[in-house]
Structure 1
Amino acid sequence: MKARVNDGCISCGACVAACPEVFRFNDDGVAEAYTDVASEDEEAAVEARDNCPVAVIDIEE
């Protein structure tokens, strides 16, 4: 699976807290998906997407 953080991130940290195996803050201070979603991290990545207050995270097969 692939995750993507689209424009509009407000740097709240919800995704980084929920799934640090996939999400981190970049040099500009906004979240990014820095790796593909491993099977063992799928549930946490979906939680990160679902808890994003501005709904800017996409997860694709």
Structure 2
Amino acid sequence: MAEIIIDHDECIGCEACVETCPAVFEFNDEEEKAYVIEGSDPDEDCVDEAIASCPAECIEKV
């Protein structure tokens, strides 16, 4: 099963992934970084679109 990883050092907090795929990504306001929602489905249709929309290119599916 695939896993989604966000490199938090590279994340710029733009929230593009959260807007594109809110079923999988959420935003931590304190850290100003996006996170993968625990237990979310990495095969959601919107995941690849979220990865492509990330300007920091810090999201990958492994």
TM-score using structure 2 length: 0.79
CA RMSD of aligned residues (A): 1.8
Instruction: Give the number of the structure whose residues are more often helix, by fraction.
Output: 1
Q: Is the Cα contact below 8 Å between 2:24 and 2:42 reproduced in 1?
A: no
Partner of 1:2: 3
Structure 1 stretches of 4+ moved >4 Å: none
User: Which blocks of at least 5 consecutive residues in structure 2 are unaligned?
Assistant: none
Match of 1:34 among 11, 14, 37: 37
Match of 1:56 among 40, 55, 58: 58
TM-score using structure 1 length: 0.80
Percent of aligned pairs with the same amino acid: 32
Of stretches 8-17 and 20-29 in structure 1, the one that deviates more from structure 2 is: 20-29
Write the distance in 2 (CA, Å) between the matches of 1:15 and 1:4. Answer: 12
Residues 40 and 57 of structure 1: CA distance in aligned 2, closer, same or farther (over 3 Å): closer
Aligned residue pair count: 59
